Structure 1
């Protein structure tokens, strides 16, 4: 009985979410000025549903900061447009180090490369998800923020004090304001007023392993989400979490890959100001040593569980904002990577087509020609990957076909329902 009730409830949730995506057909960046919005468990742009396919390219601002490297940025956007990709996730941070964006608290380089990235995205009709800080050490991250405070004589015990210390939180709030209110020197538009930006992301993969209850991170998200929204009410906001379940729904922790990181998918995404939920998926890291079949089964279950909760509990859209298959994994082949992408894409598409909350998938990651030294094993270089390009283009085409007014989009029986049931 409970199973049947859940099934009927989820069917209704999916149907209602689809029906909320109403109004007249309109364009995206190219033919309208509307911002992307979350209405129920659906994204809407200019009065129509918005489903997307995309990729990560975290290095765009770094390359754009040097005119000699800017061709890599332009070429990547052109390739994305040719493949029907409509969302790219990238960094809006580079804290200290070489080619920094912010070389010390409140001090920024002139002629931001990010201006060029946003202007190129706009030219090619592509939306950006911009992440504001890193949990990891790459490009500075929370470690650099904590070190800046230490350099000023402030005692901090660990990098997790990024989430607790008022001085460090003040540094980060200043960064948020600096980026959101910046006026693009190329387009003339303030970032907060530019619909090219799909959403802001609070942090790339936030973790607070010194407090596995999740309360420290929840308090930080609450504070920072309110700060973002007090400055910019135009854009959506997401957290950047990987999707690990926590204490709010202990029974859901069965879907985790066997460890905790101080996040809580349910509680974190229920915080006011958070417009949609995200998950990442790296079974080759999370359950390393398992077979390809077991890893694929894990990802399908992972997507299914989070789609169910996004629809029935959060009532918000869900995006898979990182997934990939590393060439450094045992037995790797391009064919295996393509098969993995196809399986992930099928799960996302089935959910979206059936009226569920899965609004798109963004794989990790694309790199341009001449970036071999940057490889992390997950990179896709389009000029070297014709079969993978074909898989990506196929997904872009079929998921973009869902971008029609709800009045013209028949609710597909069995799509989301089968995903929920696991059929």
Structure 2
């Protein structure tokens, strides 16, 4: 009986709040507004800004970027019967103002590889990548394409090591990826194969396609066998020169998580206990690197810390890197991966405890998103270096994608409050001069939770449209 009537009560409660707190209005908006994609040409760096080659000549600023990660796009698109998932993801993304996606342009060895062995490619998978790039452009979404993985998921450095061993090379660790000449040749050949690929759908060479936002040398490089950073620095310098010798149309970034190194020992305090052989400053100062990146997962990096401690770390991590991108690097910065898991309590807990834990984790998750988004907006709106953030990861609410779930996924139909935050970030970045950020008071959010109401995004949008006179950041009152 209670469950049967709850939807009616929830809807009446939402409408009552709208009437009492906001008044009737016809100016509300839902979460389905489609945003423009800027100019028609390549995106380039101009100081700490991104600019776009415009149709009539000249360039115009790309003020802010709201984006997402979806590593699975090429793989799903390699099956023609699964391409609808790629279309649906891009449609959902565009409807929420997401304009950049970061995804893999690698799948080395193993099941259904892109690169089955050095220089040998699976055409079906390559055509899947063709489809991803072509389809993204239809939705005015640009792509950051990562060229290899540091980890052994989807092959990565370890697969290159195995290929070299099969060719008779004696290698001691995965870090030989950065120094062994045959492996460096394997990598360069892969880079060339990707950059010079002619798309079978739109006829454009990848290096000539403005739908590509940038290339990424490697996802989350690490070299723990040389904590001085010299090994990785040398590899970056060599590979940047090689990539730029083939393609000077597109921007290039390293793929860094953001750990500081020996060039700035006073900044290493922000690394927690991590020392990865990378150097956020010197790696990004390599000639030919166009913008810097950071990743941040407070719960993954500090699993035994309280949420308060994790949030304090997040704040310091973002502040330090934004300050260094502004003052030291003088280049744009993207938070190219961030997220927080939504893992519920174990099944051994009582139903009440499970509900309480899910709510707590949901609130903490919203806090992470809101904090990142506020840091991005504060920098971008003030002309600073941090130009955008890309959450990990967007999925569809389909059972067929359950194998892609990792606890960090965002499914819009399952996460109305996150959907709202993402949509509102897109809106305020879309027009930095006119947008007034939405800030729902703590009391209103508390009322939703108290009555176990999960309002639809259109209702949240209507609330925020009527409360747009509030100028405080998203995170300021709601999620601390």
| TM surpasses 0.5 | yes
**Corresponding residue of 1:186:** 201
Give the RMSD, CA atoms, in angstroms: 1.7
- Displacement of 1:75 in angstroms is 0.2
Matches of residues 72-91 of structure 1 in structure 2 within 5 Å?
72-91=85-104
2:370 matched to 1:346?
no
Match among 250, 253, 271 for residue 238 of structure 1: 253
Residue deviations 1:21-51 (CA, integer Å, cap 9, x gap): xxxxxxx986743210111111111322211
For 1:129 and 1:38, the matched residues in 2 are separated by: 14
**Corresponding residue of 2:324:** 309
For 2:38 and 2:290, the matched residues in 1 are separated by: 24
Contact 2:67 2:391 in 1 (8 A): yes
2:56 matched to 1:49?
no
For 1:329 and 1:134, the matched residues in 2 are separated by: 29
For 1:263 and 1:277, the matched residues in 2 are separated by: 13
What number of residue pairs does the alignment pair up?
Answer: 378
Matches of residues 271-310 of structure 1 in structure 2 within 5 Å?
271-310=286-325
Deviates more, 1:29-38 or 1:355-364: 29-38
**Corresponding residue of 1:385:** 415
For 1:190 and 1:87, the matched residues in 2 are separated by: 20
For 1:31 and 1:305, the matched residues in 2 are separated by: 30
- Displacement of 1:130 in angstroms is 0.4
**Corresponding residue of 1:229:** 244
Match among 367, 375, 379 for residue 405 of structure 2: 375
For 1:362 and 1:178, the matched residues in 2 are separated by: 27
For 1:343 and 1:30, the matched residues in 2 are separated by: 25
**Corresponding residue of 1:365:** 393
| CA shift in 2, pair 1:329/1:213, >3 Å | farther
| CA shift in 2, pair 1:388/1:170, >3 Å | same
Residue deviations 1:51-108 (CA, integer Å, cap 9, x gap): 1101100000000000121111110000000000000000000001111110000011
Secondary structure at the counterpart of residue 221 of structure 1: helix
- Displacement of 1:174 in angstroms is 0.1
Residue deviations 1:128-176 (CA, integer Å, cap 9, x gap): 0000000011110000001001111111111110001000000000000
Residue deviations 1:232-258 (CA, integer Å, cap 9, x gap): 000000000100000001111111122
**Corresponding residue of 1:70:** 83
For 1:209 and 1:29, the matched residues in 2 are separated by: 43
Deviating above 4 A after TM superposition, structure 1's stretches of 4 or more consecutive aligned residues are 28-32, 329-332
Contact 2:175 2:223 in 1 (8 A): yes
**Corresponding residue of 1:35:** 42
**Corresponding residue of 1:320:** 335
Residue deviations 1:187-215 (CA, integer Å, cap 9, x gap): 11000000100000000000000000010
Match among 227, 231, 243 for residue 216 of structure 1: 231
Contact 2:39 2:60 in 1 (8 A): no
For 1:281 and 1:61, the matched residues in 2 are separated by: 24
Secondary structure at the counterpart of residue 136 of structure 2: helix
Structure 1, unpaired ranges of 5+ = 1-27, 405-414, 416-423
Contact 1:245 1:252 in 2 (8 A): yes
For 2:433 and 2:83, the matched residues in 1 are separated by: 32
Bigger CA radius of gyration: 2
Secondary structure at the counterpart of residue 225 of structure 2: coil
- Displacement of 1:181 in angstroms is 0.4
TM-score of the superposed pair, with normalisation by structure 1: 0.87
**Corresponding residue of 1:167:** 182
Contact 1:129 1:197 in 2 (8 A): yes
Structure 2, unpaired ranges of 5+ = 1-34, 54-58, 346-356, 435-471, 473-480
Residue deviations 1:325-363 (CA, integer Å, cap 9, x gap): 012387453232122211210111111111110000001
| CA shift in 2, pair 1:36/1:329, >3 Å | farther
Secondary structure at the counterpart of residue 103 of structure 2: strand
| CA shift in 2, pair 1:143/1:29, >3 Å | farther
Residue deviations 1:244-297 (CA, integer Å, cap 9, x gap): 000001111111122201000000000111000000001112122111111111
Contact 1:29 1:195 in 2 (8 A): no
Deviates more, 1:220-229 or 1:44-53: 44-53
Secondary structure at the counterpart of residue 308 of structure 1: helix
TM-score of the superposed pair, with normalisation by structure 2: 0.77
For 2:362 and 2:94, the matched residues in 1 are separated by: 23
**Corresponding residue of 1:103:** 116
